[in-house]
Amino acid sequence: MVYLPHWPIPATLGNKKINYETVFARMLPVLQKLGNPHQKLPPVIHIAGTNGKGSISALLAKIFAVAGYKASVYTSPHLLHCNERIVLNGQMISNSNLYEVLEETRLASQDHQFTFMESFTMASFLAFSQSNSDVLIVECGMGGRIDATNIIENKLATIISAISFDHQEYLGNTLTEIALQKACIARKNTPLIVAKQDDFAINFAINEVASQLQSICYFYQQDFNLNINTDGSFDFYWQDENLLPNLPQPNLLGKHQYFNFTTALACVMAISPHFYFTYQHLAQAIATVFWPARLQKLNNHWLKLLPQNSQLFFDGAHNVAGALALADWLACQNDFNNTQKFVICGFSKNKCKPDFLLALQKFNLLAVTVGKEPYPESSNIIAEIGKKHNLAITDANNLFEALNLISQQNQPCLVVICGSLHFALELL
């Protein structure tokens, strides 16, 4: 008898009908050869969503570490090394350990064909099953319903971060379709923490799946909330009680991080019967957590190309929601007027969307070809997309030329580089 996850297929999943039984049935024989490591994992917190998954994962891992627990994390994509995807009790997996689990998976997979994500996920299950961790935080690669990570049946909690448009060719063309895919990580009688969402995503998708599964739901605004104070601190409300007042300003920049952190805190509350956390644990984690490529301030040789006292940031924003969050942050940086704020953007092929550029139209836009991107979109195509929508955008060719153009301002500038995470290979 073939084991398959026991979660529903919603009645409406748009035109993206992929047979999930085929996806997981292909993986199961290999997992069985490996000893079914996906059934021997530490307690799993599973996270799906479009934006904020990484930030939520990072804060949860930091909270567990500060509280003295051993937390492992599975994330994607990586920035510089594949090892980044598998963090075992706070440390990236070693090269030798990574080789061992990948080789064992390869030998077990010889009669089967898999995507990179499926293969790497099965190998990660091996590593995590041997980790002796107290908790495992697992981030979906894409979607949720047929994501390789969703073969995990038993979960401690599930989280749906902010949902927006991304990967429509696989997930659907409406927020409802995309949300249905992501909501399928939920499980019966398991906490489901739902971040701030578009009403359509909640009313017509997440509620449908959660109702079918009888998940234990916690929704932003209904069950948890926040208040941002004038000094940058914030209050966390849990079921209408100001449970955690005056938490420190998030160490990750941008107003959107308050909502990500509030979602992570709601997960902490939902699983609190299983772990012990204090206010001090939570506050320390919020004030010290780090997650690269999220409005990460750079102070390296690239900054030296800019006028003195300039600031340079790298942000992973690559979809419309990310661009809107970035635009909001830029608008709030009152030390710089609009003529001194620049956004350099580059993308993978066919990933530049007009709405992304339109969200940032108040700032000086420069298009570049990402040098380390395997399938880069050329800077002239990005510039043409902008110009078709009456945007003032400069074709700067590459990152070096873009920064040199900005340096001609001869005055301090605020510069953000965004669009493709492959910029990391040049910037970090």
Task: Please state the domain extents for the chain.
Answer: 20-288, 296-427
Separation between Cα atoms, residue 165 and residue 161, nearest integer Å: 13
- pLDDT value of position 14: 42
Name the percent of the chain lying above pLDDT 70.
90
347 and 377 in contact (C-beta within 8 Å)?
Answer: yes
For residue 127, is pLDDT > 90? yes
What confidence score (pLDDT) does residue 18 get? 44
Span 247-264, average pLDDT: 96
Model confidence band, residue 84 (pLDDT cutoffs 50, 70, 90): very high
pLDDT value, residue 338:
53
- C-alpha separations of 340 from 204, 334, 407, 409, 416 in Å: 43, 11, 11, 8, 11
CATH number of 20-288: 3.40.1190.10
Burial of 273 by CB count in 10 Å (0-12 exposed, 13-18 middle, 19+ buried)? exposed
Buried b / exposed e over 240-272, threshold 16 CB at 10 Å, is eeeebeebbbbbbbbebbbbbbbbbbbbbbbbe
- Whether the pLDDT of residue 11 is over 70: the answer is no
Sign of CA dihedral 253, 258, 263, 267: positive
Q: What is the pLDDT of residue 201?
A: 63
Residue % of the chain over a pLDDT of 90: 75
What would the mean pLDDT of 53-61 be, rounded to a whole number? 97
Q: What mean pLDDT comes out for the span 140-159? A: 90
pLDDT, residue 315, reads 96
What residues pair up with 73 in beta bridges, in sequence order? 87, 137
Across the range 359-372, mean pLDDT stands at 95
**Average pLDDT of the residues of the chain:** 90
Quick one: pLDDT at residue 21? 55
Residue 218: phi and psi, rounded to 5, are -130, 115
Report pLDDT for 177. 79
Select from 1.10.3720.10, 3.30.70.360, 3.40.50.300, 3.90.190.20 the CATH code of 296-427. 3.90.190.20
Question: Is the confidence at residue 217, as pLDDT, over 80?
Answer: yes
Q: What is the pLDDT of residue 182?
A: 86
Predicted confidence (pLDDT) per residue in 191-201, tens digit: 999 999 877 66
Give the pLDDT score at 286.
Answer: 98
Question: What does the pLDDT average to over 77-84?
Answer: 94
Which of 1-15, 190-204, 391-405 shows the lowest mean pLDDT across its residues? Answer: 1-15
The residue ranking higher by pLDDT, 96 or 20, is: 96
Q: At residue 411, does pLDDT exceed 70?
A: yes
pLDDT > 70? residue 236: yes
Confidence band of 339 (pLDDT split at 50, 70, 90): low
Q: Is 232 exposed, middle or buried (0-12, 13-18, 19+ CB in 10 A)?
A: exposed
How far, in Å, CA of 343 to CA of 392, rounded?
12
- Using CA atoms, how far residue 357 sits from 304, 323, 383, 390, 398, in Å, is 27, 8, 10, 11, 18
- Report pLDDT digits (tens) over 18-35: 454 566 888 999 999 999
